[in-house]
Amino acid sequence: MMAKIEEEVTIKTSADNVYLLISKTENIAKLVNIMQAKIIEQDEEYRVSDIKINTEKETFSWRQREAFDPDMRRIDYSYLHGDWKMFYARFQVTSAGDESELILHVEIEPKEEGIKAYINFFFFKRKMQEVIKDILNAVKDRLELSYGQST
């Protein structure tokens, strides 16, 4: 069973400022205390990172490839290996006048199968949705506080 989650947040700063912050995975890890990131390899167009998320009950680890499209202000994260059966994520930043919209789209499928997985899936999806909201709100708070525009 695959969870598809998409959340968005409006941030009172330019789309370029948002993209600059999220384009470095280590910045996100610093903002979200449940996340750790280790850069394995990188160049101008991509980065390979090891990611670890610690929730109250579980820890998930995986390696991902991050592909950057600065013109579209988009970052695609593809799964290489780890604790998931399938993982894909995408950050998209759009300009909305003096503000920006930051969208985080995630498709994720745990390796666990069977009746236990079916029972746990609702809780898993809800927890991942909370993690995604925490990431977006941490980015928003960091940028709005940095530019003195917090409301």
- From the list 41, 22, 39, 35, the residue with the least C-alpha distance to 61 is 35
Position 105 scores a pLDDT of 98
Tens digit of pLDDT at every position of the chain (151 positions) = 888 999 999 999 999 999 999 999 999 999 998 999 999 999 988 999 999 999 888 899 999 999 999 999 999 999 999 999 999 999 999 998 889 999 999 999 988 777 666 677 888 888 899 999 999 999 999 999 876 544 4
What pTM was computed for the model?
Answer: 0.88
The confidence score (pLDDT) of residue 76 equals 98
Query: In a 10 Å sphere around its CB, with 0-12 CB exposed, 13-18 middle and 19+ buried, how is residue 22 labelled?
Result: buried
pLDDT at position 106, please?
Answer: 96
| Residue 102: C-alpha distances to residues 86, 90, 139 (Å) | 23, 10, 9
Contacts of 109 (CB under 8 A, 6+ apart): 1, 2, 3, 84, 85, 86, 87
Token pair 């909370």 is found at 130
